[in-house]
Structure 1
Amino acid sequence: MAERWVNFTNLPLLEQTRARVTKTLMEGILLNMSTEESKKLLKRHVNNKTNLVIMFVDINNSTEMSLSLPANKFVLLVQCFAQEISLAVLGYGGYVFKYEGDAVIVLFQQNQTARNRV
């Protein structure tokens, strides 16, 4: 089903992602998972109106997965997911606001959204 939305023909990108995920599985998270940049963004706009796009992304059927996978494998799955979503978001000028369980909550400034539309 995902094939309708994801371009699987970009083989170099797929190979980079595969290598990064493999390294993450072996060595742990490779990305700084801090949410400080989103806090800075919100502090800059604390006294004025700004338009933001908020995106919530989580793993489909994660509760079922958590019951069927060993805990350490499920944790690795969630870590890889969070890392890859974060890298994509940062690549499009977004900010990771929060990691919550298997979910990543993301902010995009409206002016960034128009420029980086997928």
Structure 2
Amino acid sequence: MDDIIKESQFRIKKSLDKGFTYHHFAIARSDKFLRKHDSQRLPMFVVYVDLVGSTKMSSELDPEIFNTIIRIFSQEMAYVIEHFDGYVLKFVGDAVLGYFLASEKVALVANKTIMCAKTMQLVIKNAINPLLENKNYPKLKIKITLDFGDCSIIRYGSDRNLSHIDLIGLTLNLAAKMQQKTQSDQITIGDHVYQKLNYKNKQYFFKVKTDPKSWIYHDLGKEKQYSIYSSKTK
């Protein structure tokens, strides 16, 4: 864990002080994987990391500084995802979307995704924010959501090598919708993730009380409301 923080600090310092440009090919790695499994449906854990308050920052900070902060956030989150053997699907504005293949040893991968999410929080807290504060820049806060299920790999066009390729499915939609039920610096997971965790990781979460009028989502083929769980705040 210390090595992850130190490596992150090194890159961030260079980015803030010397205009270091990230040369990280996370998206290309994901693209290669998706094209290899074109038109397949695969079991995956999906992680959605959202930067809180970016709209306010965009209006208050110099555009170049804001761009640097967004780049640091997105790239450092991508490094964490890849460290835990995940793939970075895309950068969506102020959010990062990643996934973890879970064809085998699903429980092992489930617990690994929780460690990934906790590491993201530590990178924000111990690497990014102290260095931003040194420059009198605002500290960052994030919201992390996770869900598990089958995701479909879709290619939009006839060219197998160049046409846009992406993931779609209920799992991705739920991971995005859970952001609405997540507080700053909190992790929220779907029931399909929670049920696969070991005892220790389950104790880290509590079941969220959801209003049926605002949380209208159900598991496929079931009438029961889909349960979600959030990390306990200190």
TM-score band by shorter chain is: 0.7 to 0.9
> Which of 18, 28, 48 matches 1:36?
28
Deviation of 1:44 after TM superposition, in Å, equals: 2.9
- Structure 2 residue aligned with 1:76: 68
- Structure 2 residue aligned with 1:24: 15
Contact 2:11 2:20 in 1 (8 A): no
When residues 16 and 112 of structure 1 are mapped into structure 2, their CA distance, relative to the original with a 3 A threshold, is: farther
Q: Report the residue type matching 2:35 in the other structure.
A: K
State the distance in 1 between where 2:105 and 2:57 align. 35
When residues 32 and 14 of structure 1 are mapped into structure 2, their CA distance, relative to the original with a 3 A threshold, is: closer
Indicate yes or no: 2:50 matched with 1:64.
Answer: no
How many residues in Structure 1 have an aligned counterpart in Structure 2? 109
Contact 1:29 1:83 in 2 (8 A): no
RMSD (Å) for aligned C-alpha atoms? 2.3
Q: Specify the SS of the correspondent of 2:41.
A: coil
State the distance in 2 between where 1:77 and 1:29 align. 12
When residues 11 and 49 of structure 1 are mapped into structure 2, their CA distance, relative to the original with a 3 A threshold, is: closer
Deviation of 1:81 after TM superposition, in Å, equals: 0.5
Indicate yes or no: 2:89 matched with 1:91.
Answer: no
Deviation of 1:11 after TM superposition, in Å, equals: 5.5
More displaced, 33-42 or 50-59? 33-42
- Flag the structure with higher helix content: 1
State the distance in 2 between where 1:56 and 1:37 align. 18
Q: Report the residue type matching 2:84 in the other structure.
A: Y
More displaced, 106-115 or 68-77? 106-115
Contact 1:95 1:108 in 2 (8 A): yes
Q: Specify the SS of the correspondent of 1:58.
A: strand
Q: Report the residue type matching 1:19 in the other structure.
A: F
When residues 112 and 87 of structure 1 are mapped into structure 2, their CA distance, relative to the original with a 3 A threshold, is: farther
Deviation of 1:95 after TM superposition, in Å, equals: 0.6
- Structure 2 residues not aligned, in runs of 5+: 116-234
- Structure 1 residues not aligned, in runs of 5+: 1-9
- Flag the structure with higher strand content: 2
Contact 1:31 1:83 in 2 (8 A): no
